[in-house]
Amino acid sequence: MAVRKIDFTQKKQATGDTQAALVAMLSRPVTMAGVGQIVPLAIDLLDDYPKQARTFGMRELEELSEDIKQRGITEPIHVRPKGTRYEILAGHRRRTAAAMAGLAEVPCVIAEVDDADADLIFSENVFQRKRLLPSERARAYKIMVEAAATKTGKKTLPISEVAAVAGTNRKEIYRYLRLTLLTDELLQLVDEEAVSMVAGVQLAALTQQQQQLLLDVMDENGLETVSVKQAEKLAAKQQEQQGLSAVQMRAILLPPKSRKQPVLRIKFERLQDFFTESQTTSEIEQEIVTALTYYRQQNGGTV
């Protein structure tokens, strides 16, 4: 799969740059040394990109490895020089599967790019994957936005501009950026759909320490999820008083159970002098309520 390349090499020209001009700048391809020139590199010289967080399932790696044995690597791996070695910008899965297939070398395209451009190439490649977990999409957006800020010289994160390039909207990117504020364990719950993304965005309002306390409370009480309503209450309480205790968390996550109303039982023998056997239970209940109401009125409101 070809790597889509975005150019942020042109610095911000003036204070009044328009969004359209910036978007146009972001859409230019990066300058890559050796584009079109595929060179073989030893697999043991290729290192994971530092921001690569995904672990691939053994089944998909085995399937790709078998495909490589039969067809070879049809799409070269994109790398950049790092000292005497190389960092993989795109093709981590292919590199691992090729090693499993017994290959010593893989075809590579070498990109002479700085850290920001490397981040952009890496994050763009992430979006080429067929299935992305919320955590993967969140981290990729964060990398892309921060790299765009570096390349454009903007003091504020260029979320709107990146959204235009990525074909999405500012709100979606902002929501995913909020997810990057979650602890790894909470983010995993979002990936596993134990906690919804909407709830996860709300929980991002909690500090890392509060999030860990929340996980402890959940573990102590055997809770596997936090609902959207509960997450909203936790976030609101945090904003209201700039802090959350375990007691307050339990009060939100474990609302008191509704108290059972006591059942009053009276033997009919004690009432048979007041009612006839033909009267129904509802009729008897109504007469008792009427009598008690009258009695209370006559005795100053007490029975």
Which tens digits make up the pLDDT trace of 112-166? 888 888 887 787 777 777 677 899 889 888 888 888 887 777 666 778 877 877 7
Domain extent, residue 293, equals: 268-298
Q: For residues 236 and 277, state if they share a domain.
A: no
> % helix / strand / coil in the chain, to the nearest 5?
50, 10, 40
Buried b (16+ CB within 10 A) or exposed e, 170-187: eeebbbbbbbebbbeebb
Does 20 have pLDDT greater than 70? no
Contact (Cβ atoms closer than 8 angstroms) between residue 1 and residue 23? no
Partners of 42 in beta bridges = 105
Residue 29, domain member (yes or no): no
Assigned domain for 114 exists: no
Average pLDDT value for residue range 68-84: 86
What pLDDT, on the 0 to 100 scale, is given for residue 151? 74
Tell me which of 21 and 48 has the higher pLDDT.
Answer: 48
Taking each helix axis as running N to C, give the angle between helix 58-71 and helix 92-100, from 0 to 180 degrees, rounded to the nearest 10: 70
227 within some domain: yes
The reply to whether 118 falls in a domain is no
Is 205 inside any structural domain? Answer: yes
Q: For 44, which DSSP code? A: G
Are residues 245 and 199 part of one domain?
yes
Co-location of 272 and 247 in the same domain: no
* Claim to verify: residue 240 and residue 274 sit in the same structural domain: no
Residue 51 has pLDDT above 60, yes or no: yes
195 occurs within a structural domain:
yes
What's the number of domains the chain is made of? 2
C-alpha closest to that of 56 among 93, 106, 95, 91: 93
